[in-house]
Amino acid sequence: MNNCPWGRITGVRPVKIIKNMLQSGLDAGQSKEKFLEDYMVSEEKARLCLEIAEREIKLLEDIDENDICLYVGIPFCKSRCLYCSFVTAQSAEDHSLIPHFMKALKAEITAAGRLAGQHNFRIVCVYIGGGTPTVLSAEDLSKVIGYCRDSFDLSKIREFTVEAGRADTIDNEKLSALKEAGVTRISINPQSMRQETLTAIGRQHTPAEVEDAFYQARKTGFGNINMDVIAGLPFETGENFADTLRQVDALNPESITVHTMCIKKGSRLHERLGEYALTDAETAKRMVDFAYGFMKQTKRHPYYLYRLKYAAGSLENIGYSKEGFECLYNILMMQDISTVISVGGGGVTKVVGPDKISRVFNVKEPREYINRIDEMIERKKVIFI
Ligand code: SF4
């Protein structure tokens, strides 16, 4: 008997498999049976995937092939989280590159906008991620959004997300700038609401700062806020994780994304594994199961799911949302449904065609991005031919 709840599935998108079965004409019961039989997943994972796949199909009813997403990567952070493998720039010296980065980004957005126009693409979602985009000043955030508005047709936009990520990068001025620029959804990510954990994982904010940032965002008028948490952080017990979920829920965000702890190569955690008490697979599973039940109770349903290599217990990441607040970008991007034009540090541009998916990668490191901006611009043209 295979102990992994995902049985034979090694890929990152299990929902896609069952969704293809539904779309090939099998009904829900047949799809689930086939999924169980072909992939030997656990009954609960099969049920979960079916639930998400059915929801996705409804949510994507009116998306067509010219509807695409725009991703903007801001590769700067305030400090590096213990588990992060992303090459972000954190030092004052790194941050002195921001004016040069802005100039390069403007050139790339302008060129990408021309490309989108030539192919009659309509942007339905914009997602500004990172890094931590709110490391930028209010003025620079407004400028980035302005470059997008000047270069792309945003008349059909349904969602505009900015990862406000770390509470210690958020203030009233930035929130107001985002709101005024038309951002509809932000993410404020505590990961844990336990101070000892935040200190251990290198996040320089307190649980109280997370709450303050959340209330400020509400006061500024944001009616769609996501919060990310991680199940299985070092030194955390099941009760610590449950307590984080309760504290986050008390703020009443529209969606909560539950990640499972991953030990990624290139992270500080990977380099210094012996120093940290890691969560065993059984505890991680209990945490993830608790999250599922808790979200049901608090009226948030699972709407997207993906897996990552090296996750505790081979478990998954799940986005839970209240009805009507599902993040369209997360679904379109994770399920390889729509073309995504990505600009900025670490962006992956993806052209989704009828028979194949082509990808082109932007470099992550800001100095490299700035120095090689012409190449980043040219590279994209090739896959859009
Ligand atoms: S905030 Fe995100 S991108 Fe930045 S260091 Fe932490 S995990 Fe990495």
Residue 47 has pLDDT above 70, yes or no: yes
Ligand 1 atom index nearest CA of 166: 1
Give residue-wise pLDDT tens across range 261-290.
Answer: 998 888 988 988 888 888 888 999 999 999
* Residue/partner pairs of 273-279 with CB below 8 Å, 24 or more apart: 276/82, 276/200, 276/234, 276/235, 277/234, 277/235, 278/232, 278/234, 278/312, 279/231, 279/232, 279/233, 279/234, 279/236, 279/312
* Residue/partner pairs of 355-364 with CB below 8 Å, 24 or more apart: 358/383, 359/383, 362/73, 364/73, 364/75, 364/86, 364/87, 364/88
Ligand 1 atom index nearest CA of 203: 6
Q: Whose CA is nearest to atom 5 of ligand 1?
A: 80
Residues whose CB falls within 8 Å of the CB of residue 206, separated by 6 or more in sequence, listed in order: 167, 195, 198
Ligand 1 atom index nearest CA of 80: 5
Averaged pLDDT, 315-337? 95
Residue 83 has pLDDT above 50, yes or no: yes
Q: Whose CA is nearest to atom 6 of ligand 1?
A: 81
Mean pLDDT of the chain, nearest integer: 94
| Position 168 confidence tier, pLDDT thresholds 50, 70, 90 | very high
CA angle 85, 211, 258 (to 5 degrees): 45
Looking at mean pLDDT, say which of 9-13, 29-33, 64-68, 90-94 comes out highest.
Answer: 29-33
| Position 60 confidence tier, pLDDT thresholds 50, 70, 90 | very high
Domain ranges of the chain: 14-59, 67-343
Q: Pick the range with the lowest mean pLDDT from 2-11, 30-39, 235-244.
A: 2-11
Q: Whose CA is nearest to atom 2 of ligand 1?
A: 131
Relative to beta strand 348-352, strand 357-361 is: antiparallel
* Ligand 1 within 6 A of CB of 259: no
Structure letter (DSSP) for residue 65? T
* Ligand 1 within 6 A of CB of 130: yes
Residue 1 has pLDDT above 50, yes or no: no
Give residue 88's pLDDT. Answer: 64
User: Which H helix or E strand runs over 320?
Assistant: strand 316-321
Separation of CA 201 from chain center: 19
Q: CA 56 → CA 32, 49, 215, 383, distances in Å?
A: 16, 10, 30, 27
- Indicate yes or no: pTM above 0.85: yes
* Ligand 1 within 6 A of CB of 131: yes
Give residue 2's pLDDT. Answer: 52
> From CA 284, how far away is CA 280, in angstroms rounded?
6
Give residue 87's pLDDT. Answer: 66
Question: What is 67-343's CATH number?
Answer: 3.80.30.20
Give residue-wise pLDDT tens across range 99-135.
Answer: 999 999 999 999 999 999 999 999 999 999 989 999 9
